[in-house]
Structure 1
Amino acid sequence: MPDARRGGLGRRSVTSIGAALLILFQTSTSAAPPPIEPPPTQRLDVSPRFLSQPNIQDLFPARALKEAVSGVARIQCVSTREGGTRDCRVIEETPLGWGFGQAGLDGMARSRLQPGQVDGQPVDSRVVQPFTFIAVGEVELDCAVDPDQNVSDCRIAKEVPSGRCLGARALRQAKTESPDRWDLARARNGRFAWRMDVHAPLADSPERTGQPGCMQPPG
């Protein structure tokens, strides 16, 4: 009999533990709601449009800006009937690891929209917004100038940051652009320092191509 009672108590204990585990499992699973999906695409009479957006340079990730790395991000949000956004997520980010996705999310959080409309009434709707970040570097060319101010024989003197083909791009720009008169005014012994800003396109960057260094621009 003592053994039977102990056995009965053991079965009740197992049953109680099983019920407790079941309750715990149900509580754990119900505590994590499924992710909120944007409302399905609907036929809008008026599509949402931006009323205000932050300056793209204010969103540029600091490290990418310093190292002249360009990038893109596409952000999907729900444009709310109140003119804000919610449930934003990154659906494209190139290159990864430089903060462009988060920059795009910050941009949407700081934007105001005119909501989409159906039958004259504002409604929640899905919106996808691209953000394009074009980095700019600085190049100084050492060029020759004749008395008629014709420029020739330009050489790369300095590029910041280095290693991103900015100097090669500056040499190309020099063929189609004219130097600033202040640069020309500093000419000494027939040469002068031509300082220019140079864009660093994403298309041929090592982050996009997967190749070390950079791809020399044609020409």
Structure 2
Amino acid sequence: MRAVLTGLCILSALIVPGTSLSCQECTDLQHNNCTSAPKQCQSSQTHCVSILRQTVLSAGGSNMMSIIKSCGTKKDCDMTTSTNAGNFQMITISRCCNTDNCNTPQINIPAKEIKSNGLYCMSCYSGSSHTCDKKENTTCVGGEDRCIQYDVTVTAGGPETKIAVHGCATKNLCDTQGRAAYYGSSFEMKSFQCSSGTRPQLGLFLSALTGLLFMKLFS
């Protein structure tokens, strides 16, 4: 019996409990960096995530940065998304690391691509409601090959804010159902739809215009 107990004690000493990752976890909706005391992650969360988002409202000349740092998984890592809804433009970048408290450095937003890719989407934006009316065709740029429609509620940084966006976006924003840009508990996605971008039907338009001119000439 004593030999059995001795063996169990030795085995217990050899078993070292696993330790989970610790990361910065904070949100600042008005600046490009934030800091916090390290937080212990869940065992399924293998990476420290930093997501920086830049939103530009050309109508009011507003250019705002926001940062989210959290525990996460590899699927949240290393994505750059772009959204274009006419007056509203957004670009996000996520960066990850997998050592304790490693998501402390400041990250920077890359320059947004401005070259048209030949696609377009109907667009509109509302910063105060979950609905907006499609008002214009917006030309998609760079890797924006999807048309998106989504409604999101922002629950951090002051009073609750409702937002609606229709416009062009990159595929990875669709693949994550908006999570790549609106990450964490500060955002509640109400609805999210995605479809392929549209190419202008120039040939059909010219044919219709030619037919109309012939009708006018011979009527």
TM-score (norm 2): 0.24
User: Which structure shows the higher helix fraction?
Assistant: 1
Which structure is larger by alpha-carbon Rg, 1 or 2?
1
Hey, which of these two has a bigger chunk of strand by percent? 2
Between the two structures, name the one with larger relative contact order (CA 8 Å, sep ≥ 6).
1
* TM-score after normalising by structure 1: 0.24
